[in-house]
Amino acid sequence: MLASLGQRAFRWLDERLDLQPIQRFAEEKAVPAHRYSWCYFFGGATLFFFMIQVATGILLLLYYKPTAEAAFESVRFIMTEVSFGWLIRSLHSWSANLMVLAALLHMATVFFMRAYRKPRELTWYSGAILLLLAMGFGFSGYLLPWNELAFFATRVGTDMAGKVPVVGRFLLEFLRGGEDVTGATLTRFFGFHVAVLPMMATALVLFHVLAIQRQGMSVPTSQKETSAQNPGMPFFPNYFLRELMGWAIALAILAALSSLFPWELGVEADPFAPAPAGIKPEWYFLFMFQTLKYLPATIAGVEGELVGLFAFGLAGAAWFFVPLLDQRFSRGEPSPWLTIMGVLALIFMATMTLLGYVMP
Amino acid sequence: MIRFGRAVLGVAFLIIGSAAFAQDNCLDCHRELEDEAALAMSEDIHAQSGVSCADCHGGDAEIETGGDYEVAMDPAKGFIGVPAPGDVPQLCGRCHSDATFMHRFDPNLSVDQEAQYWTSVHGQRLREGATDVAQCASCHGAHGVISARDPRSPVYPTKIPETCGACHADPEHMKPYGIPTDQLADYRAGVHGRALFDQGDLGAPTCNSCHGNHGATPPGVASVSLVCGNCHSVQRELFSGSPHREVFESMGEPECESCHGNHLIEAPTDDFVGVGEDAICMNCHGEGEPAYEVAATVHEEMSNLKEAMAEAREIVGQAARAGMEVSEADLALIDANQTLVESRNLVHAFATVPVQEKVAEGLQIATTARDMGLSALAELDYRRRGLFVSVFFILLLVVGLYLKIKQIEEPEK
Amino acid sequence: MSAERRMGRRFFVDLVLGGGVIGSLVSFVYPVLKFVMPPAVAEAMDQSVVAAKVGELAPNSGKIFKFGRRPGLLITTPSGELRAYDGICTHLNCTVQYRTDFGHIWCACHNGHYDTSGKNISGPPPRPLERFTVSIRGDDIVVSRNS
């Protein structure tokens, strides 16, 4: 019954919008079948979590007040007075972390499968920017509850931004809306978080997803033969159902985390109180934070932290422009060199993140 | 014509103005001589009210001396020079004890200072011939006297300890009198001194609050609690109804001072009462006495209350940090704190029952707060279980999808 | 597999799938619907509260009310004016009260007195009580903190 209703609705729209090309595309769309097909899942998972963020974020917007005087209290209000406010808030906080995790896994699988190679460089660039936007979402959103941890983590994080040579001062004041982290910072971060970043992210996500539809899924070189022999799995309904299943599992994980480890409210930020011990940024920034802590005060006459930031900048640039680098080093052949670099980078980041939690 | 008229008016004002305050040639001359005392008179309240040098020192302030000071500073005209210390109170009292005269200047001024002064220890010593005890000028100054309500005055509340201390903290000065000189240092270190100097609380007592200013005497032993009780009325009332009052009076013990000190009054802690190391009760009472039991019980009761409050505070704090609604519990903790403050008052009844009753009240409130905190934490738990219901449905969905996939892809037989 | 069993199987799968879909949807939609409907008290009660109803307080009387996490004191002066103060004594944090017999504010703990302007006039309190703004909104007496 539902199916026939759906068919009638489709026919009604088709008579007006000519959906035939889309229908053909959907019927023909196939996902390559090979050993690493499961990696294709992570992109969709990231999108799924992003959609949860948009939905829960809009819901929170109904009650949140973005001023230093009212922010903490409004979050407390959401958590204590609004029906299921605690749930929406916990979902939003957890889904943020899961989104970044999924994005990182997606990026890692794309990297190791060399999916960024021609003709998919633009997809890689848009994805890299999206990952940075996701971290921007995380950083700006983290401040919004205006609790002690958030306040000081933001102060430390923007301090780091201020250390960038030449533009550091400008960057710091741009981010903070002044010299210090104040209510002005909160207002600014709120604007970034609910308007600027969503706008940029939506545009890039649309491009990213459309580019993939245009070009089809990439197949790693090692699997090209296997994949060529197989017509691939039809997207509708086979892969789609599997994707839904994956999303349902992701949702179950999100729900379990939100209920087993509900996000706490914390203590209201007091700019005049001394920073509590053990301030750390969120886990996806932690590896950088921890590395900078280990650097000596000066390296070859230059401030240690500056050297560290420069090194991260170089590494970041290399990562961003990997389609260019790979082209130069491999000429279409497998490039174990980049794989090794990638693995080392992952081990480094994982170790530093772990140390960041374990060390005092 | 108009300009001439204005000039006449100007001169007239000058003459009238200078005549409103009678000519004070003493001041003019002594100012020229850069006499310190004379220079100080610009800020002096007496000078501003029209009192001339001669009004205190005698002599003739108005006469034109033509350079010969003896014309003005003439004993025949009443000149007395620098008054002897012993004569100062009477000299000041000539005006300051005359109500009709003083009320011309300020209807609020009291006129009993000289009479009070003669009752004081300072006054008595002065009569006996001492020349280094305080008299009017010692505290108020002689030239450059300013109102006691002016913060610059040596008798403004924040300045009084220093003023009294000028003599009373000087061992050399106080040697002939055999009075200790540690009061000022003690006062500064104690709660009253810290309230006055560090917190700017003008309500805090200074030397004159307890000793009086003109009639300065140390309070008698039986009246210490009455003096302290001017502010600490609750404790005084309780003390007066307690067994300590009669006992202390018969022993000649100075009531409040016996436990709290007089100048170095430390912030009292809960360990003052009890049977422990810092317990003041143990200064007099020993083990085996009924008082020992009272002290021990009172201390224990208050410790119980503090423990219960700390526990409640911890739990409520946990719930608050987790983001649960606990404002009612916060209010209850404020009420519990009040019972603790009140039970500290009740220590001064020196009996177990009042403290026990108050502590019981506080324990009930603390328990209520704690229970509110616990139920908030339980609510957190409940939410977890509630969420498992939705997780169940999601997993059902997963299973359903899986089965659907299998079904669609099952090869047709 | 026989056609019948296949039909039965299909039905079972559809049942599980349908049940899962509906159950999941309900367990999302229900909380979201409840979330978007505002709670009974529309805003956090820490900046502004309804302390009493008009006419509730006779002249020369007072009332303790809940203001966020602290008590507040609403008084009507002997001349009939409404005033509101923070209810915590500035001495040792006991809760103050209005004494009709004194005609002003008093703290039971150490006999501290405050006049009807909140100024500490006698006893140990070192500072006046913080004053709040009182407004009338229809039938309600609203007390707000000064920002």
> Band of the pLDDT at A51, cuts 50, 70, 90?
very high
Same domain, A133 and A261: yes
Closest CA to A149 of A290, A266, A263, A67: A266
Q: Is A258 on the interface with B (CB under 8 A)?
A: yes
Same domain, B47 and B91: no
Averaged pLDDT, A189-204: 97
Cβ-defined contacts of A162-167 (< 8 Å, 24+): A163/A303, A163/A305, A163/A306, A163/A309, A164/A309, A165/A306
CATH code, domain with A130? 1.20.810.10
A186 touches A151 (CB < 8 A): no
Residue B239 burial (CB count, 10 A):
21
Contact B341 C92 (CB under 8 A): yes
Strand ordering across the sheet containing C131-137? C48-53, C140-144, C131-137, C82-86, C70-76, C61-67
Domain total of chain B: 4
Instruction: Return the pLDDT at B18.
Output: 47
- Helices (H) and strands (E) in chain C — how many of each? 1, 10
Contact A85 C35 (CB under 8 A): yes
Q: What is the DSSP string of A317-349?
A: HHHHTHHHHHHHHHTTS--HHHHHHHHHHHHHH
Q: Give A311-320 pLDDT, tens digit per residue.
A: 999 999 999 9
Same domain, A310 and A177: no
Strands (E), C1-147: 48-53, 61-67, 70-76, 82-86, 97-99, 104-107, 112-114, 120-122, 131-137, 140-144
Averaged pLDDT, A179-200: 95
Please identify which residue in the block is written with the tokens 């174990």.
Answer: A336
Strands (E), chain A: 30-31, 233-234, 298-299, 302-303
Q: Give C75-130 pLDDT, tens digit per residue.
A: 999 888 999 999 999 998 999 999 999 999 999 999 999 999 999 998 889 899 99
**pLDDT surpasses 70 at A333:** no
Instruction: Return the pLDDT at B34.
Output: 87
Best-predicted range by mean pLDDT (A141-155, A325-339, B209-223) = A141-155
Averaged pLDDT, A106-135: 92
The vertex-A137 CA angle with A131 and A140, nearest 5°, equals 140
At C28, list the tokens.
């999302």
Compute and round to an integer the Cα radius of gyration of chain C. 28
Encode chain B (413 residues) as per-residue pLDDT tens digits.
Answer: 667 666 555 555 554 444 445 677 888 888 888 888 888 888 888 988 888 888 888 888 787 777 777 878 888 888 888 888 889 999 999 999 999 999 888 888 889 999 999 988 899 999 998 888 999 999 998 898 998 888 889 999 999 999 999 999 999 999 988 888 999 999 999 999 999 999 888 888 998 888 888 888 776 656 777 788 888 889 989 998 999 988 988 888 888 888 898 889 998 899 999 888 889 999 888 888 899 999 999 999 999 999 999 999 999 999 998 888 898 999 999 999 999 999 999 999 999 999 999 999 999 999 999 999 999 999 888 877 778 788 888 999 999 899 888 888 876 54
Contact A77 C43 (CB under 8 A): yes
Give the whole-angstrom CA distance, residue A288 versus residue A310.
12
Instruction: Return the pLDDT at A88.
Output: 94
Q: Which residue in the set C13, C24, C66 is minimally distant from B331, CB to CB?
A: C66
At B162, list the tokens.
């220093």
Give the whole-angstrom CA distance, residue C54 versus residue C139.
5
For A73, residues 6+ apart whose C-beta sits below 8 A from its C-beta are A65, C44, C46, C47
In a domain, A3, yes or no: no
Q: Which residue in the set B324, B384, B402 is minimally distant from A245, CB to CB?
A: B402
In a domain, A189, yes or no: yes
In a domain, A4, yes or no: no
Closest CA to B409 of A349, A233, A343, A39: A233
Averaged pLDDT, A112-127: 90
Averaged pLDDT, A103-113: 93
Q: How close A158 gets to chain C, by Cα (Å)?
A: 29
Pairwise pLDDT comparison (A276 vs A190), residue with the higher score: A190
Instruction: Return the pLDDT at B20.
Output: 46
Instruction: Return the pLDDT at B10.
Output: 52
Give the whole-angstrom CA distance, residue A257 versus residue A245.
18
In a domain, A228, yes or no: no
Pairwise pLDDT comparison (C40 vs B397), residue with the higher score: B397
Please give the residue range of the domain that contains residue B47.
1-82
Instruction: Return the pLDDT at A277.
Output: 80
CATH code, domain with A334? 1.10.287
A288 touches B342 (CB < 8 A): no
Same domain, A189 and A98: yes
Nearest CA in chain B to A263: B322
Closest CA to A238 of A42, A30, A23, A34: A30
Same domain, A163 and A306: no
Contact B325 A260 (CB under 8 A): no
Q: How close A267 gets to chain B, by Cα (Å)?
A: 6
Instruction: Return the pLDDT at B21.
Output: 55
Same domain, B173 and B232: no
**pLDDT surpasses 90 at A71:** yes
Same domain, A50 and A199: yes
At B131, list the tokens.
């020349």
Instruction: Return the pLDDT at A282.
Output: 86
Give the whole-angstrom CA distance, residue A245 versus residue A266.
35
In a domain, B273, yes or no: no
* Residues belonging to chain A with any Cβ–Cβ distance to chain C shorter than 8 Å: 59, 62, 69-70, 73-74, 76-77, 81-85, 87-88, 248, 251
In a domain, B283, yes or no: no
Same domain, A249 and A199: yes
At B342, list the tokens.
């009140």
Give the whole-angstrom CA distance, residue B395 versus residue A250.
10
Please give the residue range of the domain that contains residue A167.
33-222+233-266
Q: How far is CA A38 from CA A124, A219, B133, in A?
A: 19, 12, 101
List chains adjacent to chain B, taking adjacency as at least 3 C-beta pairs closer than 8 Å. A, C
Instruction: Return the pLDDT at B19.
Output: 45
Q: Which CATH superfamily is domain C48-144 in?
A: Rieske [2Fe-2S] iron-sulphur domain (2.102.10.10)
In a domain, A272, yes or no: no
Instruction: Return the pLDDT at B7.
Output: 59
At C14, list the tokens.
């559809």
What is the ipTM score, two decimals? 0.80
Same domain, A239 and A332: no
Same domain, A91 and A180: yes
Same domain, A200 and A326: no
Averaged pLDDT, A281-301: 86
Closest CA to B153 of B218, B92, B195, B206: B206
Q: pTM higher than 0.95 for the full model?
A: no
Instruction: Return the pLDDT at C89.
Output: 94
Instruction: Return the pLDDT at C40.
Output: 79
Q: Which residue in the set C35, C37, C44 is minimally distant from A73, CB to CB?
A: C44
Q: Which of A102-106, A188-192, B1-5 has the lowest mean pLDDT?
A: B1-5
What 8-state DSSP symbol labels residue B266? P
